[in-house]
Amino acid sequence: MSEELFELPQKYRTIVDEARKVAQQVAAYAPRADEADHFDPDVRRVLSESDLCSVTVPAQFGGRFPEVDSLAVTVVREQLAYESSHADSMFCMQGIGSYALTKAGNLALQEKWLPAVGKLEAIAALALTEPDVGSDLRAITTMIEVQGDSLRINGHKSFITNAGDADFYTILGKEKVGDEFVYSLVLVPATTPGLTVTHPHQIIAPHVLGDVILKDVVVPSDHRLGEAGKGFGIVLATLSTFRVSVAGAAIGIAQAALDEATKHAAGREQFGVPLARLGGIPAQLATSWAEIEMARALTYRAAAASARDARASLYLSSLAKVGATEMAGRVVDRCVQIMGRFGIARGSKIERLYREARPLRIYEGATEVIYDSLAKQLVQRVAG
């Protein structure tokens, strides 16, 4: 891997080295874990013993940095995704699922859950989308009703990462305040009566995924995260901090694919010459290398900016996310082509990487949705 070409400060270099060692440890379990629809116990054990997940919570609750640091999360994801998307997802969802609690929860809830999240003793999940609602979150139908000192929740969340294995869910819903409906976030422990999980879907790259159904679920009113009506602002803060880390995962997958294809092309001869010197393959390899390095440079820049001010640099995180995930799709596809029949053999690493690269262009903001937002920002900038 070649992230050493980018001058990371030493505190991040240390985390990169730790993450690489963990990635090498989980590599042996990746063929099984990356096909699993529940947490793999060996990957969880290795991650837990490493203390890497402490990066996903603030220092006050056992983390490495005063606040969750986007660059630290991004470089860890790059290393983990290189070997195992299961390990990458297990790691990143600790931050994504708990960030609303970090930013807006009351101290009692934070002290109960965040230290456990950082030690991987409690699994976090963020539940936004619904069966009929994806990018347009304002169309959600999940309802939150105030009843004395409690909140009653009814709704159906769909395609939720960690569903079934999570210990708590951060739920986005609507509640009525005065004459209007506003959007709020509520923390719901997985053991709360009325909360059930089903598994009606599985994606092309198997994933811990399910639907969360809430039927007359009741939690104390202090489980609301932030004030009523502040839900979207907290969701945006989560995206601002973690969206760029998707680019890190994409780079890890693309780098792993290129390394596999390069080894294959250098060691296999056709027509009396190494495949790496035959026809258009040298250009495919070199183009892929160049695209990975360009994506890495933008991603690290965006992640460093996000670590300083996540909201102000969301446009950079969005650019890095679409740039790196689209790049990964191109690079992995080229690598499959270079490896020929070995690239499409079911169960091979390159075939697994091919399936794992595709969902990255959809989750945490589909490419087209992000492009639309970026175009509007660009017009505003040029128009002054």
Which of 346, 348, 243 is CA-nearest to residue 299? Answer: 243
> How many CB atoms sit inside 10 A of residue 283's CB?
10
- The answer to whether 195 touches 152, Cβ cutoff 8 Å, is no
Residue 347, pLDDT above cutoff 70? yes
Q: What are phi and psi of 169, to 5 degrees?
A: -120, 135
Instruction: Tell me how far apart the alpha carbons of residues 298 and 72 are, in angstroms, rounded to a whole number.
Output: 15
Q: Tell me: the pLDDT tens digits for 193-216?
A: 999 999 988 889 888 999 999 999
The stretch 306-333 carries a mean pLDDT of: 95
Instruction: Tell me how far apart the alpha carbons of residues 24 and 46 are, in angstroms, rounded to a whole number.
Output: 10
- The answer to whether 244 touches 231, Cβ cutoff 8 Å, is no
Over the range 99-118, which residues count as b (16 or more CB within 10 Å of their CB) and which as e? bbbbbbbeeebbebbbbbbb
Per-residue pLDDT band at 4 (split at 50, 70, 90):
low
Least reliable range by pLDDT among 224-238, 264-278, 289-303: 264-278
pLDDT for 135: 83
β-strands 180-189, 273-274: how paired? unpaired
Q: Tell me: the pLDDT tens digits for 7-22?
A: 789 999 999 999 999 9
The share of the chain scoring above pLDDT 90, in percent, equals 86
Per-residue pLDDT band at 1 (split at 50, 70, 90):
very low
The stretch 36-63 carries a mean pLDDT of: 97
Q: Tell me: the pLDDT tens digits for 361-375?
A: 998 889 999 999 999
Q: Tell me: the pLDDT tens digits for 88-105?
A: 999 999 999 999 999 999
Residue 3, pLDDT above cutoff 90? no
Report field, pTM of the whole predicted structure over 0.85: yes
Q: Tell me: the pLDDT tens digits for 134-179?
A: 888 889 999 999 999 999 999 999 999 999 999 999 999 999 998 8
pLDDT for 7: 77
Residue 275, pLDDT above cutoff 90? no
- Tokens, residue 10: 């030493």
β-strands 180-189, 124-127: how paired? unpaired
> What's the mean per-residue pLDDT of the chain?
94
> How many CB atoms sit inside 10 A of residue 375's CB?
10
Which of 336, 367, 371, 360 is CA-nearest to residue 350? Answer: 336
The stretch 42-69 carries a mean pLDDT of: 97
**Dihedral class, residue 224 (left if φ above 0, else alpha if ψ from -120 to 50, else beta):** beta
Domains of the chain and any CATH numbers? 3-123 (1.10.540.10), 125-228 (2.40.110.10), 232-383 (1.20.140.10)
Instruction: Tell me how far apart the alpha carbons of residues 24 and 52 are, in angstroms, rounded to a whole number.
Output: 14
Q: Show the DSSP H helices in 224-366 as ranges.
A: 231-267, 281-308, 314-339, 349-357
pLDDT for 172: 97
